[in-house]
Amino acid sequence: AQKVTQAQTEISVVEKEDVTLDCVYETRDTTYYLFWYKQPPSGELVFLIRRNSFDEQNEISGRYSWNFQKSTSSFNFTITASQVVDSAVYFCALSEEGNKLSFGAGTTVTVRA
């Protein structure tokens, strides 16, 4: 069964638009961790954020913000005022026991100038 679902395969926006990436996860554990990674065209996977299951505070880092809601098992990611450099594949991931990461299918974001 898919543990992490990213329903949006591709999103295309014009520069300066906001874009929200959805992530829904499934776990029976009470302690778990959620992550977002960015994979630009170069291929390297860049860590963006880690959130544990006991911390539902939303977080903002520059133009990035994350909304964690345990009630809906969602961990959504918003890029505000998108830029061309934001074009990449974004992966949501879940870590349960043993630090094993389960990745979603990824969402390809294309920001057009």
Partner 1 sequence: SAVISQKPSRDICQRGTSLTIQCQVDSQVTMMFWYRQQPGQSLTLIATANQGSEATYESGFVIDKFPISRPNLTFSTLTVSNMSPEDSSIYLCSVGMGGSTDTQYFGPGTRLTVL
Interface ranges with partner 1 (CB under 8 A)? 31, 33, 35, 37, 42-47, 50, 52, 91, 95, 97-101, 103-106
Nearer to partner 1, 71 or 99 (CB): 99
Smaller CB separation from partner 1, 13 or 49: 49
Do the strands 10-14 and 4-5 form a parallel or antiparallel pair, or are they unpaired? unpaired
CB under 8 Å, gap of 24 or more: what pairs does 39-44 form? 39/88, 39/89, 39/90, 39/91, 39/106, 40/87, 40/88, 41/87, 41/88
SS3 (DSSP) at 97: helix
Tell the smallest beta-carbon distance from residue 89 to partner 1 (Å): 9
Closest to partner 1 by CB, 64 or 103: 103
In the complex, least distance from residue 86 CB atom to partner 1, rounded to whole angstroms: 19
